[in-house]
Structure 1
Amino acid sequence: MKIKTVAIIGAGAIGSYFIAGLTEKLGDDLWIVAEGERKERLEKNGIVINDQKYDLHVKTPEEAKGVDLLIISVKYGALQGTLPMIEKIVDAHTLVISPMNGVDSEKVIGEKIGMEHMLPSFMKIASRRIDNQIVYDPEVTMGLYFGEDNGEPSERTDAIEDLLRDTPIHHHLSANIQQDIWYKYALNISKNLPQAIINCGLGAYTDSEHLAYISTRMRKEVSDVAAALGIDISDTSGTQAKNATFAPDSRFSTLQDLDAKRPTEIDMFSGTLVRMGKELHVDTPFNEFAYHAIKCLEEKNSGKIR
């Protein structure tokens, strides 16, 4: 198996990382998939990443059909609307990764195209949008994690490693990808959401025992739900349980979305956890509060409430 062509749906934080990392190696064989006005805009304007402009090779889903590797990097709220595009693109041999936040994107996509196409993955990247460009620090970005559910190397993981070799994309073959995905999920919920509700920088988790308490309780609920699924993320001392080093004033994605008055991914974070908790008979009161609190902040941003 050899990956010669790559298509990306979604040119935000994750998509931009792959655009910057694969453009030199793949050239015309790296495609962005879009339709209508968005396709015209991307073709005309390209994308600016870390002060460098990238011209994009934009294809419709029909034109991208049969690509070797499809990367899904949309916001969680856009995933359902993206499924028809994915169905049009995927051919019998197409490998699909969805290194999005959350724990269920592979299942959502796999139910449409077949789980045999899906390779579990996730990303660790801290980026922000400044004016019309995406900005991230390539040196501290931990990048892509991927692996088979059985923890063994495979023809598929070998193909991904071969593709990313000699590129600036940081990548890691995971020996326990589902556990690592849930460790990332716990980080997102316990660090993204409390600061978004309080509207504070990352340093507040150290400065405030109250914020630290909320964060700890929210993470414990993620750990409890994971345990009910047979996934152990109780150890908080390992590398996977910790974020990379960020400045004390760092504002993670949920707070960035609220700052910009965009919809957040709260449905994917606490929304999904609360739903799973109910199905598994695991109590998640702190996440249930966070879900409704951030929904209220979204309503405030939209002018629905004052």
Structure 2
Amino acid sequence: MTFAIFGAGGVGAYLGARLADAGHDVHLVARGDHLAALQTDGLRVESVAGDTAVDLPATDDPADVGPVDHVLFTVKAHDTRDAAADLDPLLGPETTVVSFQNGIDNERWIAEEVGDGHVVGGVAYIFSTIESPGVVAHTGGPARFVYGELDGSRTDRIEALHDALSACEGVEAVLADDIRVELWRKFAFICAHSGMTAATRKPIGRIRESPDSWAMYRRIVEEVVAVAQAEGIDLPDETAAEWVDFARDLDPEMYSSLHYDLTHGKRLELDALNGSVVRHAVDAGVDVPMNEAITGILRPWADERRE
């Protein structure tokens, strides 16, 4: 089976290496110093689930790859529209484009470029980053990947993807009954965790120690759940309590990718996270003051770093 990893960073390159180890034909689409290192030295993954090193074809031009069975789409959310416009050379009639990204709007944005028929929803639970060009560090998280057709159907192509990922070492593969529920479920957590660690510039341990901050963290989750339910997503009422319990047990020194981007001068995924909650809340008629506060605090930083 052939795969293109579009945006072969921490998440995409991890999956690419695991699929290659399982015997699949994998092509990496990357850029910059990371691409140069992949082309020269190959890809090395340093993982709590076991290290690996693979030498895979890597390019910044999808036309070098051609049509594949599956595109794993793992670019930052603020790059989704531009990157999706470059997908055409990778697409055959049955090619899936699986979004393993932050947020609940990416699938729609991709579909606007390539058509609904190609798009599959996905959720990634993994802490992995580019440690240095050509090197990905997987430091924690279950390496759990959840995916499914957006209409909930069990197609041949989604079953084939599930078989491929299930056979990979270091991957917990889950074929969802309703991927939209899974997308919103993770969204509720990541908006709270990313938003609060970035806005306070503090790790989760310090947020938990502050009653005001900890209450705000929970209210962000509750607001996202309320918006999801207002939009007809069957998200259980206990979702907020489950995520707060989960966050209570996280390493006290843990931050988030949004905090990392903020403190390292990078573009922010604000519009795909808390900013997206605010937009959806307007349409749904739900009040989201905590998400509005996070968006307002981080907006000047996000705007300054737009390309």
Q: For the superposition of Structure 1 and Structure 2, which TM-score range results when normalised by the shorter chain?
A: 0.7 to 0.9
Q: Secondary structure at the match of 2:5?
A: strand
CA distance in 1, matches of 2:253, 2:105: 30
CA distance in 2, matches of 1:63, 1:26: 21
Q: Secondary structure at the match of 1:91?
A: strand
Aligned residues: 296
1:125 and 2:90 correspond: no
CA contact (8 A) 2:166 2:172 kept: no
Q: Secondary structure at the match of 2:181?
A: helix
CA distance in 2, matches of 1:242, 1:49: 31
More moved, 265-274 vs 162-171 = 162-171
- Structure 1 pair 192/99, CA: closer, same or farther in 2 (3 Å)? same
CA contact (8 A) 1:65 1:90 kept: yes
Q: Which residue of 1 aligns with 2:255?
A: 251
The 5-angstrom pairing of residues 21-32 of structure 1 reads 21-26=18-23, 29-32=25-28
- Structure 1 pair 38/166, CA: closer, same or farther in 2 (3 Å)? closer
1:13 and 2:16 correspond: no
Letter in 2 for 1:236: T
Q: Which residue of 1 aligns with 2:179?
A: 177
Q: Which residue of 2 aligns with 1:216?
A: 218
Q: Secondary structure at the match of 2:146?
A: strand
- Structure 1 pair 204/263, CA: closer, same or farther in 2 (3 Å)? same
The 5-angstrom pairing of residues 16-165 of structure 1 reads 16-26=13-23, 29-34=25-30, 40=36, 42-50=38-46, 53-59=53-59, 60-132=61-133, 133-137=135-139, 140-151=141-152, 153-165=154-166
More moved, 49-58 vs 286-295 = 49-58
Q: What's the CA shift for 1:92?
A: 1.1
More moved, 68-77 vs 228-237 = 228-237
CA contact (8 A) 1:128 1:134 kept: yes
Q: What's the CA shift for 1:101?
A: 0.8
Q: Secondary structure at the match of 1:141?
A: strand
CA contact (8 A) 1:43 1:57 kept: yes
CA contact (8 A) 1:184 1:241 kept: no
Q: Give TM-score, length-normalised by structure 1.
A: 0.86
Q: Deviations over 1:176-207 (max 9, x none)?
A: 22111101000000111111111111223432
CA distance in 2, matches of 1:16, 1:280: 37
CA distance in 1, matches of 2:245, 2:89: 38
CA distance in 1, matches of 2:267, 2:29: 22
Q: Which residue of 2 aligns with 1:277?
A: 281
Q: Secondary structure at the match of 1:125?
A: strand
CA distance in 2, matches of 1:143, 1:258: 26
Q: 5+ unaligned residues in a row in structure 1: which ranges?
A: none
CA distance in 2, matches of 1:186, 1:122: 13
Letter in 1 for 2:158: T
Q: What's the CA shift for 1:148?
A: 3.0
Q: What's the CA shift for 1:124?
A: 0.8
- Structure 1 pair 38/299, CA: closer, same or farther in 2 (3 Å)? same
Q: 5+ unaligned residues in a row in structure 2: which ranges?
A: none
CA distance in 1, matches of 2:110, 2:220: 27
- Structure 1 pair 196/144, CA: closer, same or farther in 2 (3 Å)? same
Q: What CA RMSD, in Å, does the superposition of the two structures yield over aligned residues?
A: 2.6
Letter in 2 for 1:268: A
Q: Give every structure 1 segment of 4 or more consecutive aligned residues whose post-TM-superposition deviation is greater than 6 Å.
A: 35-38, 237-242
CA distance in 1, matches of 2:285, 2:20: 47
Taking only the aligned residue pairs, the percentage that are identical comes to 26
Q: Deviations over 1:75-108 (max 9, x none)?
A: 0111121122112321212111011110011111
**Structure ranking higher in strand proportion:** 2
